[in-house]
Structure 1
């Protein structure tokens, strides 16, 4: 449902995982709606907090976002605010400690006070976020809603139904849509040159203006801190994208992607893709250009392969909704694992009997990052060696990963727990064998103090 722009229009953009200006269909739609009106650009970080307390996730939700993830988000929002200011507007930031009311109440008050006529949001597979949108719509029936696709290769599920496995999904997509080999680049939104102004009543009020959140610096027992190359924000994401494809790394990606610690051995796009600082369409266009200009081989194909995994889990989360968080996932039977506080604490505190797992967990806690291979090893240990309820592991990753994405994170944990999109059931790794293969000299374990 939409309406024509008029002088009375006040359009609100509610940012979520679309923290960029370039190739942002949601922002472009809002500009078209408010060309003769006013534009509110809002970020509200804790809208879903009360939902955690009402559903069955209460038992395993976390109290505070991990330091590294919080810093990366803060950097991303700072960059977004700077970009919006250059275009003539700025970011409004709602947080609980601004007033006695929570952010959801504040957002409703802002909608009513500013007589918002249209709300623009990006399509999301985040079940909790979609519940917030439904509540907002119910409380503001006079407002027209506009939903745009900004996070996926396809605006909607490109198949009649979602296959039960990634392999079937990949084969159908590659058969029906030749995105990697297509002659023309994927069309992206035109670059915005300016933005309509925010309402005059807010221009001189600093109550809602974005300010970099402050938080205590943790003490890390002489371990490395956040990886220096992970800096949040659209400009940093674009800079990294170009630096990566200006190197030889894409041509050898398939042989290096399982490395545990080296910056150049995997693409590292995930962090900027996760909060929308980087467009997946821009990434794919850059990959296609590399294949045209430099080389197309198994490694460059594997980057496309990983982008398809991301796409699959998005539609998986959209299809299964709250089942993404159920103990039995989408399976017919619950797994045999259970909650055990002592073992959970061992895993979190990096004091399990498995040095490779402890090292990976130290890396996560201190930097907010863990390699794909490391994530599989610590999840396998969590589920099989420690016999723990997989949802607690998924939640810990949610708390700390700077590249946390609800679909990829929870979908992958279900996959490894045998309650998701894997026709072969549970996947268990031989941890000693994996350590010998991927850390033969023990350098990673020593660096991240994996020996208890």
Structure 2
């Protein structure tokens, strides 16, 4: 006979918080479930149930790129290892031939395990928040707990979001000197032990929910040989990279080298682990502060802070504008003159344009899931201005393939370049010949990534 425990049955729905260190959501759930049971869940493909503009539009993709899949799987495997050391394990809800609807799987799990509380991390992802609304409506008796894990501030630290990043940065730096504050940024303590998973779930051998490394992308990986990459998903790998980066001289020259197209140490590369929450921005900022105290504080170390602030701005930009992040006219009043041309779109996707620097960047993206910030600006500018295409198709292709895909930064930056976002000067167009001469004068990057078409060679 089943006996209801006196404690709570708590469920964490992981999303952009795939870590155990500095994770307020995990800490909250650990406290709530102290005398009860704890379910730790990651659910893929929840967006499929939403009948919204983004998922129903022609620019919606169906399959995550191989490199991004691999990075996610590595991140989940690392998270599962950490959770097992704390006495629990990760449940991974994903499509199967017999159960293709992960939202239904999640609801069945909630009902079967008599969940009393759900813990999630605050997110700027409009459609993920719509999933939470649907869950709340379906289970009104469940208590919800929303914690901050992805940002420097728990809420927008200003009365209103400024129209440009520059205005935002100046106001934040005037009111909050986080880079030079007397005390380090507070880090949430890691739980020493987690409540166990419900016995009824463990005893049911037919459950396929327990995480298995590589379950989603093994076939895709076997079908496409991956280029070697320094990016390895997961909190432990992110912390190792953080340590090695700040133990080097790279931070002191970041502003000089950050526009390089392909060198590992020329930019911080934190974005991939930040995007899915394997690293917290607080942890990175504290390590940067230490570097400034112990090694050097210069324009380059300040510029790392500058980029963390830019990330913060786009997070609150997405929170402020919600579904407008995906609108063709963005947050503006005028519809762009660009349109869809399927042939040009495929040429851009395949790195088959008349622009070698663009082709090289696109080949790099498809093979590795990575593209430098400079490369992203160049290929987006080409997409919008030289090819005259609807910017949303470009943003969606980035979403499909970038291992550091972040909804706010990706869609916010595409709007910025398309002239429908946070830029008072309108469209940003780059001279591709001039940019090539500046950032790849010897053609090394173009040659490495086969940017020159055979018929042009």
1:446 is matched with 447
1:44 is matched with 43
**TM-superposed deviation, 1:422:** 0.4
1:96 is matched with 95
**TM-superposed deviation, 1:400:** 0.1
2:104 is matched with 105
Task: Please show how residues 197-276 of structure 1 align to structure 2 within 5 Å.
Answer: 197-204=196-203, 205=205, 206-212=207-213, 213=215, 214-217=218-221, 225-276=226-277
CA contact (8 A) 2:361 2:371 kept: yes
2:12 is matched with 13
2:163 is matched with 164
Task: Please show how residues 43-442 of structure 1 align to structure 2 within 5 Å.
Answer: 43-51=42-50, 55=54, 57-97=56-96, 99-100=98-99, 102-204=101-203, 205=205, 206-212=207-213, 213=215, 214-217=218-221, 225-442=226-443
TM-score (norm 2): 0.95
Q: Show CA shifts across 1:342-384 (max 9, x none).
A: 1001101111000000000000000000000000000000000
Q: Which moved more, 1:114-123 or 1:43-52?
A: 43-52
Gaps of 5+ in 1: 1-5
CA contact (8 A) 1:368 1:401 kept: yes
Partners of 2:270 and 2:448 in 1: CA distance: 24
**TM-superposed deviation, 1:190:** 1.0
- Give the 4+ runs in structure 1 shifted more than 6 A: 218-221
Q: Which moved more, 1:100-109 or 1:410-419?
A: 100-109
TM-score (norm 1): 0.96
CA contact (8 A) 1:226 1:368 kept: no
Alignment partner of 1:60: what SS? coil
**TM-superposed deviation, 1:98:** 6.4
CA contact (8 A) 2:8 2:117 kept: yes
Partners of 1:310 and 1:394 in 2: CA distance: 17
Partners of 2:55 and 2:12 in 1: CA distance: 30
CA contact (8 A) 1:52 1:61 kept: no
Gaps of 5+ in 2: none
Partners of 2:436 and 2:53 in 1: CA distance: 41
Partners of 1:264 and 1:227 in 2: CA distance: 16
Q: Show CA shifts across 1:266-297 (max 9, x none).
A: 00000000000001000000000000000000
Alignment partner of 2:265: what SS? helix
Change (3 A) 1:419 1:227: farther
Alignment partner of 2:58: what SS? helix
Partners of 2:369 and 2:452 in 1: CA distance: 20
Partners of 2:394 and 2:98 in 1: CA distance: 34
CA contact (8 A) 1:84 1:91 kept: yes
Q: Show CA shifts across 1:408-450 (max 9, x none).
A: 0000000000000000000000000000000000000000000
Q: Show CA shifts across 1:10-43 (max 9, x none).
A: 0000000100000000000001101111000000
CA contact (8 A) 1:120 1:146 kept: yes
Q: Supply the RMSD in Å over aligned alpha carbons.
A: 1.3
Change (3 A) 1:442 1:54: closer
CA contact (8 A) 1:98 1:207 kept: no
Partners of 2:355 and 2:50 in 1: CA distance: 36
Change (3 A) 1:55 1:69: closer
Alignment partner of 2:160: what SS? coil
**TM-superposed deviation, 1:216:** 2.5
CA contact (8 A) 1:347 1:382 kept: yes
Alignment partner of 2:219: what SS? coil
CA contact (8 A) 2:117 2:144 kept: yes
**TM-superposed deviation, 1:150:** 0.2
**TM-superposed deviation, 1:8:** 3.1
Change (3 A) 1:24 1:162: same
Alignment partner of 1:216: what SS? helix
Partners of 1:448 and 1:400 in 2: CA distance: 17
Partners of 2:228 and 2:404 in 1: CA distance: 13
